[in-house]
Structure 1
């Protein structure tokens, strides 16, 4: 049974965001199926993590804070908080709109802070090993055009494919995607995309996602 659920939004569009609507629907469905789940919410667009500097990155790796400024020490502590929040969650819902074929920069900055050797993965003689396995992740993916199953998917999908890859690197293989495509292709396309996405959400919970 899911005990803790980390809900992450990253879209800059606020109430106009498709991915935010989808993450809210997914979390509501999860709570209905599991009323005792505890939800932690993080809005990466409202409070974006700073992009890593070389000094902060090196300190994150070495854990040597010598010579760091107060602000850099705050950044290290913030990174530690993000990692602990991520590791503590039994499940994660990630709102991930496609921006220019990739991710919103606040979401990438979050990934740069949680992908830490010794915390969410480790290097061994036989290669890297993920340390954050056992979680369920649902990605709410929104796209202005149509990509899934088209030639554009292989050429230009640096969003869903990247998220699956980086999550897999941390040991997370239980990843589901709720997708809304064509959201910039007119009102009818938006309506159809949302109908399709909510059908996907219903199917997720029919298959006992919240168990």
Structure 2
């Protein structure tokens, strides 16, 4: 079905469907629904909503006969984007969702997400002036293996290049080996590793 999917600019009406894609890919690329069942939109509020609100011109949707089945989202200037997120988006999240208390090792995955609302990590790998933009992409399983991911990434990087970006970075779960291989094939290379091999992050970059 997804072999005939189209790539199009994002619309405001895509939010719910894109949040669902975020959920279904929210466990290191696997289905996050079992672990975010108490609040299915917990991750979407972090990784989708701000991009649709603040950078719609750098937001692409993948749609097939079954609906939205993927997205690629970007920010031209990461520090400026995070400053706006901190001033305009995060206060609403913090007001609606309490900061979890107690031992973080006992938190549920939803509580972990709420913790990120209250204690964000705006990590940008160096050299920042060479990789100031950032992006991320998620595709449902039915949309994978058809070349859509490569086309979306290349389309988004073309847009960033058109807007004057010299380079782009992205972050990924360290244990997501399939994603790592995909980014290497697109010409990305490692810039930094943070945390443990099981639960940490890898930041990769590409010059544009």
Q: Normalised by the size of structure 2, how large is the TM-score?
A: 0.29
Instruction: Point out which structure has higher relative CO (alpha carbons under 8 A, 6+ apart).
Output: 1
| Largest Rg, 1 or 2 | 1
- TM value normalised by structure 1: 0.28
